[in-house]
Amino acid sequence: MMRLSAVILTVCLAASASRSALAQGQATTGQLRNFSGQGQATARQGQAYAAPGQNAVQGQAQANAMQANAVQAGSAQASSGQAAAGQAQPTPAAPAPPSAPFVLSPAEQSEMDQLLVAWEKQSMGTKQLEAKFRRWHFDLLAAPAGVHATWAEGMVKYSAPDKGLFQVTQLKFFSGIVENKPTYKSVEGQFGEHWVCNGQELMEFDHSRKECRIQQLPPDMQGKEILESPLPFVFNLNAEKIKDRYWIRRLEAQPGVYVLEAHPKRQADRAQYRFVRIVINDQSFLPQALILYGPNFDPVTSPGYDQYEFMEVERNTLRQGVATWSRLFINQKPPADWKVVRETYRPAGPESPQIAQPGGEKNLR
């Protein structure tokens, strides 16, 4: 089970773009309705972006099989060693490292490296950025095949280098089929994710439990890149960190956009999602859509995923340039009657980075 809102921050919304590029991005988003769509219609169309090809699934299955064989071989060797040593206790075999789900040719890798560097350069110019989003969550245990189980709206905001916000402002759940159409309604006591980083603290608001978890950032971590976020590939991008953490490739796409697919290398990330697809404008590098596939995703038996569409993206506007803008959007405190849990942020090692755990309304499988 995965709490989708517990995902490491890496970069995407913080990219540089002119007003004309933003307009182009909005137009392209309109053309992508078949991808990020209107929920029910999106699922019916089964377009190539949202539905992974069999090569990706089969490649991952082969990698899993290779890893399982390696583990079994290690176990057999350990058992043999134990028998030979009598009462000696064997040393547990280390888990086999994950296998790459695909291999790029030298030309493909060179093209991917150039794209990531260009994306990073665009990101460096972003001082403030905000966008609204829509999200459709698909889960066979909560809704019929092809019907989204929840529908949400929200916002993301960023102020360089270390302030950010992610908040679901409206959340509705599938409540049945009426006249051959799915219906949705709000559920009392059920709220979406709400996450704020103000540069000194990482705050996660659980509105259902009326609880706020506050992690104090050590002084040597303040003023640096945002540490965590409920979305991967959001905010400021670092090309080398992306390649260290993911196997990433470019997929075929319609003109005007890049579609990238990233598979996590680290176990902590793989426990959260199997892979992610991001659609960005090929000029501004601003995001237009993102799909997160659950850690146990299978197109037939477990087709659980979250699909985001980004709208009304604003970057470095005059309004955002006002000194009070960043203070206003991050100046959030829990109500007086909430429980507050305070902790010190403790970064983990590079193979298992610490992950934020904001309260989410659902899990991916």
- Tell me the domain boundaries of the chain: 2-57+103-364
For residue 362, pLDDT beyond 90: no
Chain mean pLDDT for the chain: 74
Q: Are strands 194-198 and 201-206 parallel, antiparallel or unpaired?
A: antiparallel
pLDDT at residue number 161: 80
Quick one: average pLDDT of 4-19?
Answer: 34
- Give the model confidence (pLDDT) of 27-48 as tens digits: 333 433 344 333 333 333 334 4
pLDDT at residue number 235: 62
Q: CB–CB of 234/12 below 8 Å?
A: yes
* DSSP H/E element including 212: strand 211-216
What is the CATH number assigned to the segment(s) 2-57+103-364? 2.50.20.10
User: How many whole angstroms separate alpha carbon 348 and alpha carbon 210?
Assistant: 28
For residue 91, pLDDT beyond 80: no
Confidence class of residue 318 from pLDDT cuts 50, 70 and 90? Answer: low
User: How many whole angstroms separate alpha carbon 163 and alpha carbon 120?
Assistant: 19
Confidence class of residue 225 from pLDDT cuts 50, 70 and 90? Answer: low
Nearest CA to 268 out of 346, 347, 354, 365 is that of 354
Confidence class of residue 9 from pLDDT cuts 50, 70 and 90? Answer: very low
**Is the full-model pTM beyond 0.75?**
no
Backbone dihedral angles phi then psi of residue 201, each to the nearest 5 degrees: -135, 150
For residue 197, pLDDT beyond 60: yes
- Give the model confidence (pLDDT) of 146-155 as tens digits: 999 999 999 9
